[in-house]
Amino acid sequence: MQEKSKDIKGITISKEKDFSEWYSELIQKAELADLRYNIKGFICYLPWSVISIKLMYKRYEEVLEKKGHLPLIMPSLIPESNFLLEAEHVKGFAPDVFWVTETGDGQKLPERLALRPTSETALYKMYSYWVRSYNDLPFKRYLSCQVWRAENTKATRPFLRAREFHWIEAHNVFATLADAEAQVKEDMETSYELCQEEFAIPIMFFQRPEWDKFPGAVHTYAADALMDSGKVIQLPSTHLLGQNFSKPFNVTFTDKDGKQKFGYLTCYGPAISRIYGAMAAILGDDKGLVLPFELAPYQVVIVPILFKDSTDKVLKQCSAIEKELSVKYRVFFDKREVSAGEKFHEWELKGVPLRIEIGPKDLEKEQAIVVNRQTGKKSAVKLSAISKHVDSVSKEYTKSLKQKKMAGFKGYTVDCDNIEEVREAVDNKKMARAGFCSIDLDGAECAAEIEKSLGASVRGKLVDEEKHKFKKCCVCGKPAGETVYIAKSY
């Protein structure tokens, strides 16, 4: 059977007109994932996405370790008895847990084992052994791992919402509440440093309402990424756990005065696979992927323009450039026997930042054509200046991408005084900012009305925002205790 050629048509659906179909086509045509694995919500990540995901893991791990975290590897199975120690936690996660109940030969296990949905109940059992004295504090650890959640009531979507996802968990123990609160602030700073500055994803940090916080937490703070579709998606979240887990799990330390005290705990969960999906969705365009320079699997692709009488000379020059650039960058010299046009479409689709084209006419002029994926600009660059040109572009590429995306969201938020104005905002792909009675449980009824009537959710109050200016709750009309942000979400 003759091998099928690649589809070089690129993306056929406008991102602006139909984001959902555009995203599905991007996943398939850019070869990011294969959805044909025969368990719902479990997908096969393909090399092009995996290389970037590994680079994202590396950066996150470097930053966490620089800030005092040390790595762990923990079991993927958690005894049910661990879960039952913290009532709010088990109540929140029990519906989504996958349980292991027997071995391969049919023997029933003496206790059900949870396939890890999150690691608090595994880690803190061990922390009760590992943390002994005030000299051990702060105790900061992280693990890079997979977690599994059934998500039975929600539709799955590659990278953005799956039943198996890849993330990092950082779990910390402190002597005082103030130290724990400082860690939560540091986690938010880490999210801005990586997700926004390096991955070029615009985010906003909210304190989640009481009805939407992590099960067992005192407070939850979560970053929402702003999507072109008008919806938001939650990215890294950090949780102030206080002593809600240290008491049932007996995470204690002996203080300087010789007294036994419970530690104050925090946890931080950047879901790398979801961050990648958000990055692809937000930065991509109607030609396909657009990636930060540092995260592209290939940063430079060299495409020879070949004619019979000049093939050897062109290939030789391309090889020389490949050798020169490979010292600093991830470079691919595309010598495949397919048309140059097909190569152009494929590398645009996959988001390679720079494409270098060299043909016989370029050799005559001692130049190459360098194409910038982000801007589409074509530059004639002298062969002797190729390295310098790539160096210059590489330093500004991601910064320019971030600035472009941040500028695009300046008008994203709309002030609203009542629920009808909120409805108009979210229907027009905006985020509503409005007065709200309370993000404590007293406001849950108004939040439920928003979800029922508008299909949107109260994301919470913006961290560090100045005092609100709204007088009344946009739903019930009672005096507004908070300014909240409301949006549709994935």
Q: How does residue 1 score in pLDDT terms, banded at 50, 70 and 90? A: very low
Are 264 and 133 in the same domain? yes
What is the rounded distance in angstroms from the CA atom of residue 323 to the CA atom of residue 339? 23
Longest dimension (CA), the chain: 86
Q: Both 176 and 203 in a single domain?
A: yes
Q: Both 339 and 231 in a single domain?
A: no
Q: What are 289's two structure tokens?
A: 């992927």
Last residue of a domain, one of 250, 283, 316: 283
Last residue of a domain, one of 393, 424, 444: 393
User: Would 2 be classed as within a structural domain?
Assistant: no
140 near 68, Cβ under 8 Å? yes
Give the mean pLDDT of the chain: 93
Q: Is 295 within the bounds of a domain?
A: no
Question: What are phi and psi for residue 170, nearest 5 degrees?
Answer: -110, 125
Q: Does residue 13 belong to any structural domain of this protein?
A: no
Would you say residue 402 lies in a domain? no
* Residues 177, 315 within the same domain: no
Looking at the structure, do residues 85 and 234 belong to the same domain, yes or no?
yes
pLDDT value at residue 234: 94
pLDDT of residue 228: 78
DSSP code at position 14: -
pTM, two decimals, is 0.94
Whether residue 371 contacts residue 355, with contact meaning beta carbons closer than 8 Å, is answered with yes
Q: Answer whether residue 8 shows pLDDT above 60.
A: no
Closest CA to 5 of 430, 340, 271, 342: 342
Q: CATH no. for residue 466?
A: 3.30.110.30
Here the tokens at position 330 are 């991830």
- SS3 call for 79: strand
Same structural domain, 80 and 186: yes
Q: Please report the pLDDT score of residue 3 as a whole number.
A: 37
- Residues 223-235 have a mean pLDDT of 89
Do 418 and 372 sit in the same domain of this protein?
Answer: no
Nearest one of 225, 224, 237, 143 to 184, comparing CA atoms: 237
Q: Which of 77-86, 167-176, 453-462 has the lowest mean pLDDT?
A: 77-86
Q: Is 8 within the bounds of a domain? A: no
Q: Which two tokens stand for residue 429?
A: 């792909």
pLDDT at 66 (0 to 100): 98
The arithmetic mean of pLDDT across residues 402-423, rounded, is 91
Q: What's the total number of domains in the chain?
A: 3
- Cis check: omega of the bond before 270, within 30 degrees of 0: no
Chain centroid, CA 162 distance in Å: 13
Cα–Cα distance measured from residue 385 to residue 299, given in angstroms and rounded to the nearest whole number: 17
Radius of gyration of the chain (CA): 26
Buried b (16+ CB within 10 A) or exposed e, 460-476: bbbeeeeebebebbbbe
Please check whether residue 447 lies inside any domain of the structure: yes
| pLDDT band (50, 70, 90) for residue 9 | low
**Whether the Cβ atoms of residue 300 and residue 354 lie closer than 8 Å to each other:** yes
Instruction: Mark whether 376 and 429 lie in a shared domain.
Output: no
Residue 324 maps to a domain:
yes
Residue 245 DSSP SS3: coil
- The answer to whether residues 269 and 331 belong to one domain is no
Classified as helix, coil or strand, 483 is strand
Region 290-317 average pLDDT: 94
pLDDT of amino acid 153: 63
Give the whole-number percent of the chain exceeding pLDDT 90: 85
Q: Are residues 120 and 234 in the same domain?
A: yes
- Among left, alpha and beta (phi > 0; psi -120 to 50; other), residue 385 is alpha
Average pLDDT over residues 341-354: 96
Instruction: Report phi then psi at 189, rounded to 5.
Output: -65, -40
pLDDT of res. 97: 92
Q: Let me know if 142 is exposed, middle or buried by CB neighbors in 10 A (0-12, 13-18, 19+).
A: buried
Q: What is the residue-wise DSSP string for 247-311?
A: HHHT-EEE-TTS-EEEPEEEEEE--HHHHHHHHHHHH-BTTB----GGG-S-SEEEEE---GGGH
Q: Residue range 354-368: average pLDDT?
A: 96
Q: What's the CA gap between 390 and 385, in Å, rounded?
A: 9
- Mean pLDDT computed over 3-11: 56
Instruction: Write the CATH number for 82.
Output: 3.30.930.10
Token pair belonging to 78: 């958690």
User: Helix (H, G, I), strand (E, B), or coil: what is residue 156?
Assistant: coil
**Same-domain check for residues 265 and 370:** no
**pLDDT tens-digit readout, 321-340:** 999 999 999 999 999 999 99
More confident residue, 278 or 89: 278
pLDDT above 90 for 226: no
* pLDDT value for 4: 39
| Res 282: pLDDT | 95
Domain boundary among 226, 253, 283: 283
Q: Within this chain, do residues 362 and 231 fall inside the same structural domain, yes or no?
A: no
Domain carrying residue 39? 19-283
Q: Which domain CATH number covers 373?
A: 3.40.50.800
Q: What sign has the CA pseudo-torsion 99, 90, 145, 205?
A: positive
